[in-house]
Amino acid sequence: MNNKFLIIAEIGQAHDGSLGILHSYIDALADTGVNAIKFQTHIADAESSMHEPFRVPFSYVDKTRYDYWKRMEFTADQWLGIKQHCDDKGVEFISSPFSIEAVNLLENLNVKRYKIASGEISNKLMLNKIRSIGKPVILSSGLSDFENLAAAINYLSEGITDISLLQCTTMYPTPPEHVGLNVVPEYGRQFNLPYGISDHSGTIYPCLAAAALGATIFEFHAVFDKKMFGPDSIASLDIGSIKQLVEGLKFLEIAVSNPVTKDSAKLQTLRNMFGKSIAINKDLHAGHILTIDDLESKKPAGFGVDAIEFEKIIGKTLSREMNRNDFLNFDDVN
């Protein structure tokens, strides 16, 4: 079983359209130890219209959702520089496309894989384009039930052999009762695919819990400060929390990759060290009939009757004189 973790920090729209802020995020996130940094490639004219409503009324500068996406755009050359910065920092560049034009742009960057956002699961037109490319795909499940996911997986499987699935709840932030940890391993059972979590809780807990449930892919939003302007800030992790999460996930990556068998032979030395032998707690003469009040248990094991067997010597007669703290063996009783 491959338990290698993929830890993805998503910048998303946290850059607020600023190329400088975006590059500063790359520098900061690369230092946290994440494996990949994820973006969203928006091309307003290709994906949106003036009729698209805001998900949440957060913007003071954009009259329409289309205006917002327009402000979030970068040129092809700028995207090339963004990917190169990630390459230079040793982190994988990942982005979610929201149009065929965005897929073409990302393909020109020679991305390793595609992340399909939950709202695009039913976008068969774009899925067809990605399927024709054949690169690995990570699916996010936020707006899909098992039937929707099965349809998308079956469709993509006709051209793609490497598909992963993430539990996701489209709530920003996601309260604990809606995280859906029970669904995380269910994806593995239902679809026999690598699985993980795309978390919007704004905490480190769901990813850590998912790791214990067999997840190997972990995605979360990143922000410098949760009070920053933007639709996802409150549902994101700040840099300090991301460092803490990565440390925890790397610990768990080792833990889940090294199952413990509780081998009896390997434990015997420690059993002897921490185990107890029966000893006499007072001076006793030969012929004394032992009672429980005469006994004490003392480290280590193996020097007297094992403490687990004390009942076998109660009522027995001492065959010799014994002093306080002497270990008691079966040869000492009749």
pLDDT tens sequence across 277-289: 999 999 999 999 9
Helix, strand or coil for residue 180?
Answer: coil
Q: CB neighbours of 145 closer than 8 A, spacing ≥ 6?
A: none
- Average pLDDT in the chain: 93
CA dist 315 and 332 (Å) reads: 13
CA dist 115 and 141 (Å) reads: 11
Give the number of residues written for the chain: 334
Task: Take residue 316 and report the two structure tokens written for it.
Answer: 């027995």
Question: What are the φ/ψ torsions at residue 317 (nearest 5 degrees)?
Answer: -105, 130
Q: How much is the pLDDT for 2?
A: 56
Q: How much is the pLDDT for 131?
A: 97
**Minimum mean pLDDT among 12-26, 44-58, 89-103: which range?**
44-58
Cβ proximity of 34 and 9 under 8 Å: yes
CA dist 270 and 277 (Å) reads: 14
pTM for this model (two decimals): 0.85
Which of 54-58, 61-65, 66-70, 325-329 is most confident?
Answer: 325-329
Cis-peptide, bond into residue 231, ω within 30° of zero? no
For the chain, percent of residues with pLDDT exceeding 90 = 81
What dihedral angle (degrees, nearest 10) is formed by the CA atoms of 235, 80, 22, 248?
Answer: 50
**Domain range 264-332, its CATH number among 2.30.30.830, 3.50.50.60, 1.20.1630.10, 3.90.1210.10:** 3.90.1210.10
pLDDT at 319 over 90: yes
Exposure pattern of 299-316 as b/e (b: 16+ CB <10 Å)?
A: eebebbbbbeebeebeee
pLDDT in tens, 208-219: 999 999 999 999
pLDDT at 175 over 80: yes
Domain ranges for the chain, please list them: 6-256, 264-332
pLDDT at 301 over 80: yes
Task: Take residue 324 and report the two structure tokens written for it.
Answer: 């306080």
What integer is the mean pLDDT of 102-128? 96
pLDDT at 182 over 90: yes
C-alpha to C-alpha distances, 180 to 123, 195, 198, 202, 324, nearest whole angstrom: 24, 13, 11, 15, 61
CA dist 15 and 20 (Å) reads: 8
What integer is the mean pLDDT of 234-247? 97
Number of Cβ atoms within 10 Å of the Cβ of 90: 8
pLDDT class of 262 with cuts at 50, 70, 90: confident
Overall CATH class of domain 6-256:
alpha beta
What integer is the mean pLDDT of 258-274? 84
